[in-house]
Amino acid sequence: MTSRDVVNVVQRRLPRKTKVGHAGTLDPLAEGVLVLGVGPAVRLVPYVQQQPKHYQATFRIGSSSVSGDLEGEITDFPDLPIPTRDQLNQAALNLTGEIEQIPPAHSAIWIDGQRAYRRIRAGEEFEMPSRKVQINTLEITRYEFPEVDLNIICGSGTYIRTLGIDLAVHAGSTAVMSFLSRIGVGPFHLTNSVSMDALREDALEPHFLPVSLAIQHLPCVKVTNEDAIRLGHGLCLDQTHLDETNPSENENIKEVAAMTQDGQLRAIVRLKRGQWCPYRVFPTREPE
């Protein structure tokens, strides 16, 4: 099942023309958390993607494939040395923090206007550009050669296949990914997820979550009812309006979530020429 397949299941059960989008593709091989935005919340998908992702993965040491996982033809290398756990632990330390990573060629990255995997399938040869990614945690939770289990917390844009392969390479071997589960994205956890059966059969509305979860990593301020109306009309607020409700003002903050007095998300506002101007505006419900 692809991420788009999940979106289609939900979209077919909602009123026509309701927008549905997902926050971060899961490969068909993978399982776990896929955050969906519904209706106006689709515009918050980029903010979900900014939050840390939590994965559990299994790699097979001493094997390799073009795709980096079991979907490609597997080649075994029995003559490679068997890494010790200490070597893998040291490699994990070297791969923690901000690192340079070269994404796999069999990925959905755009290269000169085309998806990389499509260019590979067409027989093209090209160089994948490296990128900086943030690895907060890279922990070896089980090692029984040839299998190693990893616990990973990382930033957006990280390729777990590449991370596991780099871990093995640092320890003098190579690897393929045999299992991947995303167990969390920010505040969205696997234990609170909705099963595919429930998405197909249950009423959907009880499963909706507050949009505020998508922007919990942003500074939040409460605005007056009058200012909430102004934001809804696309009007900017003087900087002092927000500063008065945000005593811990930080000059580096350029984007803020403006909440109504009853805790609903009214807008994402950005600082422009001394004013807080609406970048994303959201409908709010009237108090009951």
The structural domains of the chain, with segments of one domain joined by +, span: 5-50+187-207, 52-185, 218-281
pTM: 0.86
Residues of the chain with pLDDT under 50: 107-108, 110-111, 115-116, 126, 247-248
Question: Cα separations (Å) of 223 from 170, 226, 282?
Answer: 51, 8, 14
- Phi, then psi, of 102 in degrees rounded to 5: -100, 110
Written out in words, the top-level CATH class of the domain with range 218-281 is mainly beta
Q: Catalytic: which of 5, 27, 86, 202?
A: 27
Q: State the pLDDT at residue 247.
A: 38
d(CA 159, CA 133): 9
The pLDDT, as a whole number, for residue 270 is 93
Model pLDDT, residue 7 = 96
Class of the 52-185 domain?
A: alpha beta
Q: What is the pLDDT of residue 118?
A: 57
At 64 the pLDDT is 94
Comparing CA positions, the residue from 169, 273, 280 lying closest to residue 218 is 280
Question: What is the spatial distance between Cα 135 and Cα 156, in angstroms, rounded to a whole number?
Answer: 10
CA pair distance 35, 237, nearest whole angstrom: 32
Q: Check residue 24 and give its pLDDT.
A: 85
How high is the pLDDT of residue 264? 92
**Whether 27 is catalytic:** yes
Integer Rg of the chain from CA: 22
How far apart, in whole angstroms, are the C-alpha atoms of residue 82 and residue 80? 6
